[in-house]
């Protein structure tokens, strides 16, 4: 699976959009970009995933660049409950394949 690079930490004001970047320059053609988050002392939570088209669901939007070497997770209106560690993972779309977590981005939403 391709390696990803994320900023260690970010701050965001409550009510504003949180834009979390992820670099995955070695991504291969059939690998997807997945995003999970982990709120303190809980198990990770699936957010969204995509291959090359932008995706949106009730939690977030995922913007993937045309060359697929980077992506951005957007939380449109961040709340204090969105404070968490966000993980960007690149992998094949097999739900029986293992997930390898990097260090992620710690997002602190401030009032």
C-beta of 14 vs 23, nearer to other proteins:
23
Q: Which is nearer to other proteins, 29 or 43 (CB)?
A: 43
Strand-pairing partners, residue 2, are none
Region binding other proteins by CB under 8 A among candidate stretches 6-14, 22-30, 44-52, 68-76: 44-52
Task: Measure the CA–CA gap between 98 and 22, rounded to whole angstroms.
Answer: 20
What is the C-alpha radius of gyration for the chain, rounded to an integer number of angstroms? 13
Among 58, 81, 98, 111, binds other proteins (CB under 8 A): 98
Pairing of strands 61-64, 70-75: antiparallel
- Cβ neighbours of residue 63 under 8 Å, at least 6 residues apart? 54, 71, 72, 74
If binding is defined by CB under 8 A, does position 42 make contact with other proteins? Answer: yes
Contacting residues toward other proteins, per CB under 8 A = 34, 36, 38, 41-46, 49, 85, 87, 94-96, 98-104
């Amino acid at each position: 699976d391709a390696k990803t690079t994320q900023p260690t930490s970010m701050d965001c004001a409550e009510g504003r959009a949180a834009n979390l970047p992820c670099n995955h320059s070695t991504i291969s053609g059939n690998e997807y970009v997945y995003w999970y988050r982990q709120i303190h002392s809980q198990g990770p939570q699936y957010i969204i995933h995509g291959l090359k088209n932008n995706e949106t669901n009730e939690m977030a939007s995922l913007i993937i660049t045309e060359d697929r070497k980077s992506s951005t997770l957007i939380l449109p209106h961040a709340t204090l409950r969105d404070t968490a560690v966000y993980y960007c993972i690149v992998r094949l779309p097999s739900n029986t394949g293992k997930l390898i977590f990097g260090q992620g981005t710690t997002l602190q939403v401030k009032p």
